[in-house]
Structure 1
Amino acid sequence: MRALTIRAFAVALVIVVALAGFALPGRAKDAIVIGEINSYSGLPAFTLPYRNGWQLALAEINAKGGALDRPLNVISRDDGGKPGDAVTAANELVSREGAVLLMGTFYSHVGLAVSDFAKQRRLLFLAAEPLSDALIWEKGNRYTFRLRPSLSMQAGMLAAEATKLPAKRWVSVAPNYEYGKSAVSAFRSIMVEKRPDLAWVGEQWPPLGKIDAGPLIQALAQNEPQAIFNATFGADLAQFVRAGDTRGLFKDRAVVSLLTGEPEYLDPLGAEAPVGWIVTGYPWYAITTPAHQAFLAAYRRAYDDYPRLGSVVGYVAMKTVAAIIAKAGSTDTEKMIAAAEGIEVDTPFGPISFRAADHQSTMGAFVGRIALKDGKGIMVDWRYADGADYLPPPAAVKALRPAE
């Protein structure tokens, strides 16, 4: 135990030195400032591993000389899950701290607010996590790029499995804000197109973080569905699973669930993990590709813990920022935008690129089913769905994005 403690302290010290290197005398003025915003107090289950991920990447980047032979200095702010606070933080990071670009955000409505700020201030914004299609389509702009696969992309991945189910009567449950509404809309649209024989017989829209699971379960059951589409996550998901299991909602019914296979949300369920659900997630324990194994080893050395999906998102977001600046050869916004369009980035999931047409990355997601092993939920029968296979052709994007 003493050896482990010493090793963990030594690794942590290396990261601290790499993160603080830009603050040493004679170097602070040369640092490239990156503004980072996220909902650390609002959803720590995802955002704290996310922070671990970008800090690990930042340490690696600065240990190799940073970008443009200058260290990167990330100044981070907590938006509390509130769009107004996020915009205030963004303004402070740009005006007071001298950030050359912004990255981060989790909730879709927060990401949309920061995206609009970036457009008004003509500043590059790498949205790491927000999933709303509007971020790159209906409300997309030339200053905003998005890393994670969108709701339409993940809905398409799930629909590829859901259309194989015999169920015809469907209901949905999702949080009543931008992400939930977009998730249900995207999944329904794809399912109706692929299976016109389906009927949507009910829907429930609990407020985010305030789900009243008992009455919700009863209302869904009264519709006598054969299958359920779920987009709740975090504490809402836990309550939905437990109440649904207790009241028999899931018995002999298929459930297709967005995000539920991510360790952030699956692990807290323990032995209550809903066996058989079709989910998107992150089976970190079973991915054997060299790129992922290298990331896994580095993350474990740094934190003596296993990564969550947020860890990968944070890590890749930071690597993407460095790659954009290096390719641009400058921190000028226009040059960085030109560099970001079409840029290729190596990730623990394999190479990805950011499309020039809509600034969406081709990062994919893992799709599989939930099973129990040693008293906790895992993903089985999974596959990696390449994001590029679930994006509309560039020509079709023109009709989706506003003219600029």
Structure 2
Amino acid sequence: MGLRKLVTFAALAAAVTFSGTAGAADTIRIGDINSYKRLPAFTIPYRQGAELAIEQINAAGGVMGKPLELISRDDQGKPGEAVRYAEELFAKEDVVMITGSLFSHVGLALSAYADQKKRLYLAAEPLADALVWAKGNRYTFRLRPSTYMQVAMLAEAAAKSDAKRWATIAPNYAYGKDAVAAFKKILKARKPDVEFVGEQWPALFKIDAAAESQALEAAKPDGIFNVTFGSDLTKFVREGTLRELFNDRTVLGLLTGEPEYLDPLGAEAPKGWIVTGYPWSEIDTPAHKQFVDDYQAKFNDYPRVGSLVGYNTLLSIAAALEKANSTDTEALVDAFKGLSLDTPVGPITYRAIDHQSTMGAFVGLTDVRDGKGVMVDWSYRDGAAYLPSDEEVRKLRPADGS
């Protein structure tokens, strides 16, 4: 049964329990490594999305006649722990590949492990550009639209604004650094007369929001590019609003429109920011509505971006297994290159040249309705339209024999 038909099996999913095949000798095991305790707002929905996909896949007969099983480990946001669990999953749990991880520094560590040990790793969530370019390798693929892709979507909007003097604020690690570098490069190419007048680099989840806001205000920018997320975003929005930092300025928020980060703000959510995010309740395509209905029926909750990523991750793995007709690592790697499949947000392809999927993102404006932060005036941007050319990728990515 083709993976493109999976969304039609929602009615069967309720009859299958996620743990029902655990320990079966003929189960295809997938290793899942993620920061469940460090950032549960994203990772728990991720795991739930993965569980839903597995139930539907298994209800439809599994892959190669075998059910899938997800074996999870918590890396605590630490690269060393992630690599240790990767080794354990392959050695003791007999997984055919690993997937997951949220933080970019953890994803880069797992990518290096995959390259060294010749094990397949599907990076579901890490956004660092180096994962598929500067440090890309044969054994690593990525699902989510990368930092570069989402920044390019926001830079497109920034170039159309009147803002010429820009300041940035981003967490001081791989993801934040990639985001700011990409924003400067892309915006400067689109609008050569822009200036960058300030940079703030708070430590991840240790932001001094008052000091950061004061420094940004002192730079007198016309626009602010914000890359903070999680608890850092909440503190920054509250302090910036109190100090009227965002008044009469163009503000861009990378990931700010995702429910994981927008919902905790409630009525304090900013208005008029240009953001990437996920307006789950407003997307009315049949495939996405079916996904939402299935997710709500199983978990009595609404999906977040993590839910969608987890779901698409397992759909991707099942499609690769089906294409390869094998659990052999090299066969699966070859199957992932150029792999195409349908998802609740449309078709995606894993590009052979850099192993990046073309999954896109939603871009729109933030607003407040009924005391909750929402995205309005949004549209879906196809990821393929925001990736560099093959010629550029060849310069960015090492020759790895892939």
Aligned to 1:309: 305
In the TM superposition, 1:230-379 aligns within 5 A as: 230-379=226-375
Aligned to 1:56: 52
Query: Given residue 22 of structure 1, which amino acid in structure 2 is its aligned partner?
Result: T
Select 1:196's aligned residue among 188, 192, 198: 192
CA deviation after TM superposition for structure 1 residue 394, in Å: 2.3
CA deviation after TM superposition for structure 1 residue 15, in Å: 5.9
CA deviation after TM superposition for structure 1 residue 17, in Å: 4.5
Aligned to 1:42: 38
Aligned to 1:109: 105
Aligned to 1:21: 20
CA deviation after TM superposition for structure 1 residue 395, in Å: 3.3
Q: Is the contact made by 2:13 and 2:59 (CA closer than 8 Å) also made in structure 1?
A: no
2:397 is the counterpart of 1:401: yes
CA deviation after TM superposition for structure 1 residue 377, in Å: 1.0
In 2, the alpha carbon distance for the partners of 1:201 and 1:90 equals: 43
Q: Is the contact made by 1:176 and 1:206 (CA closer than 8 Å) also made in structure 2?
A: yes
The secondary structure found in structure 2 opposite 1:137 is coil
CA deviation after TM superposition for structure 1 residue 72, in Å: 1.1
The secondary structure found in structure 2 opposite 1:98 is coil
Query: Given residue 311 of structure 2, which amino acid in structure 1 is its aligned partner?
Result: Y
Aligned to 2:159: 163
CA deviation after TM superposition for structure 1 residue 317, in Å: 0.2
Query: Given residue 20 of structure 2, which amino acid in structure 1 is its aligned partner?
Result: G
In 2, the alpha carbon distance for the partners of 1:211 and 1:312 equals: 29
Select 2:207's aligned residue among 211, 226, 251: 211
Q: Which moved more, 1:355-364 or 1:394-403?
A: 394-403
Q: Which moved more, 1:64-73 or 1:282-291?
A: 64-73
The secondary structure found in structure 1 opposite 2:316 is helix
2:131 is the counterpart of 1:139: no
In 2, the alpha carbon distance for the partners of 1:22 and 1:393 equals: 44
Q: CA RMSD in A?
A: 1.4
| Identical pairs, percent | 59
Q: Is the contact made by 2:365 and 2:377 (CA closer than 8 Å) also made in structure 1?
A: yes
Query: Given residue 266 of structure 1, which amino acid in structure 2 is its aligned partner?
Result: L
The secondary structure found in structure 2 opposite 1:362 is coil
In 2, the alpha carbon distance for the partners of 1:240 and 1:108 equals: 21
Query: Given residue 184 of structure 1, which amino acid in structure 2 is its aligned partner?
Result: V
CA deviation after TM superposition for structure 1 residue 169, in Å: 0.9
Query: Given residue 247 of structure 2, which amino acid in structure 1 is its aligned partner?
Result: K
Q: CA 1:385–1:63 in 2, change beyond 3 Å: closer, same or farther?
A: same
Select 1:32's aligned residue among 6, 28, 35: 28
Aligned to 1:83: 79
CA deviation after TM superposition for structure 1 residue 121, in Å: 1.1
In 1, the alpha carbon distance for the partners of 2:188 and 2:347 equals: 32
Aligned to 1:4: none
Q: Is the contact made by 1:18 and 1:62 (CA closer than 8 Å) also made in structure 2?
A: no
CA deviation after TM superposition for structure 1 residue 304, in Å: 1.1
Q: Deviations over 1:122-165 (max 9, x none)?
A: 11110000111100000000100000011111011111111111
2:374 is the counterpart of 1:387: no
Aligned to 2:6: none
Q: Deviations over 1:77-118 (max 9, x none)?
A: 000111011001101001111111011000001000001111
Q: CA 1:16–1:206 in 2, change beyond 3 Å: closer, same or farther?
A: farther
In 1, the alpha carbon distance for the partners of 2:29 and 2:183 equals: 39
In 2, the alpha carbon distance for the partners of 1:307 and 1:46 equals: 10
Q: Is the contact made by 1:81 and 1:110 (CA closer than 8 Å) also made in structure 2?
A: yes
Query: Given residue 18 of structure 2, which amino acid in structure 1 is its aligned partner?
Result: L
In 2, the alpha carbon distance for the partners of 1:186 and 1:218 equals: 25
Q: Is the contact made by 1:364 and 1:384 (CA closer than 8 Å) also made in structure 2?
A: yes
CA deviation after TM superposition for structure 1 residue 21, in Å: 2.7
TM-score by length of 1: 0.95
Q: Deviations over 1:33-86 (max 9, x none)?
A: 110000101100100111110011011111122111111121100001110110
Aligned to 1:122: 118
In 1, the alpha carbon distance for the partners of 2:100 and 2:134 equals: 20
In 2, the alpha carbon distance for the partners of 1:31 and 1:121 equals: 23
Query: Given residue 23 of structure 1, which amino acid in structure 2 is its aligned partner?
Result: A
In 2, the alpha carbon distance for the partners of 1:63 and 1:122 equals: 32
Q: Is the contact made by 1:21 and 1:71 (CA closer than 8 Å) also made in structure 2?
A: no
Gaps of 5+ in 2: 1-9
Aligned to 1:148: 144
In 2, the alpha carbon distance for the partners of 1:234 and 1:291 equals: 29
In 1, the alpha carbon distance for the partners of 2:145 and 2:314 equals: 17
Query: Given residue 179 of structure 1, which amino acid in structure 2 is its aligned partner?
Result: Y
Query: Given residue 119 of structure 1, which amino acid in structure 2 is its aligned partner?
Result: D
Q: Is the contact made by 2:13 and 2:56 (CA closer than 8 Å) also made in structure 1?
A: no
TM-score by length of 2: 0.95
